Amino acid sequence: MTKNLSSDASGGAEEIARRVRAVRERMIEQSLRCGRDPAQTALMAVTKTVPAERVNAALAAGISLLGENRVQECCEKYQNYACNSDAIHFIGHLQTNKIRDIIDKIGMVESVGSLHLARALQRELEKKGQSLPVLVQVNIGREPSKSGFLPEEAREALGEIEREAPLLQVRGLMAVPPKTDSDLWFGRMQELFEELRAGRAQFATLSMGMSGDFERAIRFGSTQVRIGSAIFGQRA
Ligand SMILES: *Cc1c(COP(=O)(O)O)cnc(C)c1O
């Protein structure tokens, strides 16, 4: 039986490269439509459930940023990735007892959504004599199923992180806005980002937008989209 690889949902290396190009083209078109410089929005490939070999196909196609959701999965795969650890960002829920396992394997934690986690990261970084770039995660749609600070808590939380966890270099915000047809949550996230950005030179990343909504995210100022299925195919 012959198999048409180009229509295979999982896709081989060529199919992954084709999808990376397609996503980039859509990002560029949307940026220009919104009057934004396409270079302002980075493309991250989100690797959950994807074997290292297919992740490397995305890297070969020009991806320079990977998003990891699970500590154990990252620990199993990262050594086989054709990139260095600075290119790997942790974007999932991080339990404090897993910090030690992951901290040397990544260049950023995008999902700092509690002071408890910020303080635990600070303690581990103190032991190592290192600092770590992070994003503060905001639960913009106030969804019980999602992690992150509530929008009205974000300003105070950011101040506390800056005071109590100075080894965390806060570079911006991350969010997973609710899946709705409404622009509301993306607009609120952009407002919050601009508000907190004032007076903070290093605070320049708004990580927002996934396969289903990255064009909307670009319209609302996203500087980094996190794309899984549009690059690697639907997850099982
Ligand atoms: C899985 C995941 C993504 C990517 O989702 P897709 O819809 O497959 O693009 C982005 N961000 C986070 C936090 C994720 O867990």
pTM of the model: 0.95
Q: What is the pLDDT of residue 236?
A: 78
Mean pLDDT by 10 residues, the chain (236 residues): 46 94 98 98 98 97 98 96 97 98 97 98 98 98 96 98 98 96 95 97 97 98 98 91
End-to-end CA, the chain: 23
Q: What is the pLDDT of residue 147?
A: 95
Q: What is the pLDDT of residue 8?
A: 47
DSSP state of 105: G
Whether the CB-CB separation of 186 and 216 falls below 8 Å is answered with: yes
With a 6 Å cutoff on the Cβ, whether 226 touches ligand 1 is yes
CATH topology of domain 13-232: TIM Barrel (3.20.20)
Whether the CB-CB separation of 102 and 69 falls below 8 Å is answered with: no
With a 6 Å cutoff on the Cβ, whether 147 touches ligand 1 is no
Q: What is the pLDDT of residue 10?
A: 66
Q: Bridge-partner residues for 108, per DSSP?
A: 89
Q: What is the pLDDT of residue 9?
A: 52
Which residue's CA is the nearest one to ligand 1's atom 10? 226
CA angle at 78 for the pair 75 and 81, rounded to the nearest 5°: 165
Q: Which of 16, 46, 49, 55 to mutate to test the pocket of ligand 1 (most atoms within 8 A of CB)?
A: 46
Q: What is the pLDDT of residue 11?
A: 75
